[in-house]
Structure 1
Amino acid sequence: MNAPKIGSWVEVQSYKHNGTLHRVWEETMILQSTKKFYIGVNDKTKVTEYDGYTWRTKEPAVCYFHSNYWFNVIGTVRTDGVHYYCNMSSPILYDQGALKYIDYDLDIKVYPDMTIKLLDEDEYELHKEQMNYPEIIERILFEQIDILKQMIYQKKGPFVPGFLDYWYERFLTYRS
């Protein structure tokens, strides 16, 4: 099985549908690595945008990537509670030392009270036209949005209470 080892650092690379590199997170530590999913954590990691602009994340993030789902989930713990940012994307692929996916613009923000908001619909419509997203992609993405919402409402997968705390504590153990 070609997969990152637990405790290893990998890049996370986000691409656009036309194959261009969109964004790179320099270092994410892998804490769970199976045939179906990866869990990683990063903290104040360097991010490089498609235009070369760089910045650092502000807080620790627990990342959930799945090889069957068309989304990934990034969770952060802030002073007002747990926030999730869910990217609608192709399933994750581990290739040449990096986790890779295609970003399909639509995002779902989950607030500490578990309310959700669909984001970037205008960006999705623009890119769908510019990059000629096939009709099947749109159908898959909206089916996956429904699956993601069910996971959120049922508190499954990365939305299980305590999930972020557990994986962040493991991250601190590996780092020390």
Structure 2
Amino acid sequence: MSPAPGTNIRIESYKHDHSFHRSWDKTTLIHTSDAVIIGGNDRVKVTEADGREWRTREPAICTFGRGQWFNTIAMIRDDGIYYYCNIGSPFSLKGNLLSYIDYDLDVKVYPDLTYTILDEEEFALHSKQLNYPPQIIARVRVAVKEVIEWIVARRGPFQNGFVQRWYERYQLVRDDHE
């Protein structure tokens, strides 16, 4: 049973060897279903593996599709919506903790929906250091292609109005639970 909308959850990402990678202190659930979990946060504390802490600068809508090898953070800025797509294992949600394994590669998407693939060198390095099995490497590559297909097709979080609609819902849910 998923926590109800309005519940605050913590998001944690790990590396392939299960070492801690990064956490987002507080994300408010907006929607949960058999297909997807959508949350929102704003100026949330992020903790890195080395202990550094920082706060996000803008509101964001986070989308985690069940069984998907990527998740999407849509950052709402004055000049448009920027997306950061983490390539990682399908998520697990236990209680108020959502976690996944981060597989290094990211797709950064700009407001005009052009995109850049980031961290190829990190992926190559960690593939060797952390001994990624061939099926994981192949699945990560497929996930990058899936993200690009979604961007081109304007699917899911990339469809027109998606982020705005969920951001409005986030503001209502957050205000109801403060």
TM bucket normalised to smaller? over 0.9
Q: CA RMSD in A?
A: 0.9
Consecutive aligned runs of 4 or more in structure 1 exceeding 3 Å deviation = none
In 2, Cα distance between the equivalents of 1:40 and 1:65?
9
The two structures have a TM-score, normalised by structure 2, of: 0.95
Asked whether 1:45 is paired with 2:44, we answer yes
Whether the aligned pair in 2 keeps the contact of 1:44 and 1:56 (CA below 8 Å) is: yes
Residue 175 of structure 1 and its aligned partner are, at CA, apart by 2.2
Identity fraction in percent: 44
Aligned residues: 175
Partner of 2:23 in structure 1?
A: 24
Contact 2:82 2:108 in 1 (8 A): yes
Gaps of 5+ in 1: none
2:105 paired residue number: 106
Separation in 2 of the partners of 1:80 and 1:54? 26
State the distance in 1 between where 2:174 and 2:9 align: 14
Give the match's secondary structure for 1:19.
coil
Rounded to whole Å, the distance in 1 between the matches of 2:149 and 2:92 is: 24
- The residue aligned with 1:65 is 64
Q: CA deviation at 1:32?
A: 0.7
Does the Cα contact within 8 Å between 1:4 and 1:94 map onto a contact in 2? no
Which residue identity does 1:151 align to in structure 2?
A: W
Instruction: Give the deviation of 1:156 after TM superposition.
Output: 0.7
Q: In structure 2, how many angstroms separate the alpha carbons of the residues matched to 1:171 and 1:143? A: 31
Cα distance in 2 for partners of 1:4, 1:96 equals 7
Corresponding residue for 2:54? Answer: 55
Structure 2: which 5+ residue stretches go unaligned?
Answer: none
| 1:174 partnered with 2:176 | no
Q: Is the 8 A contact 1:106 1:124 kept in 2?
A: yes
Deviation, 1:51, is 1.7
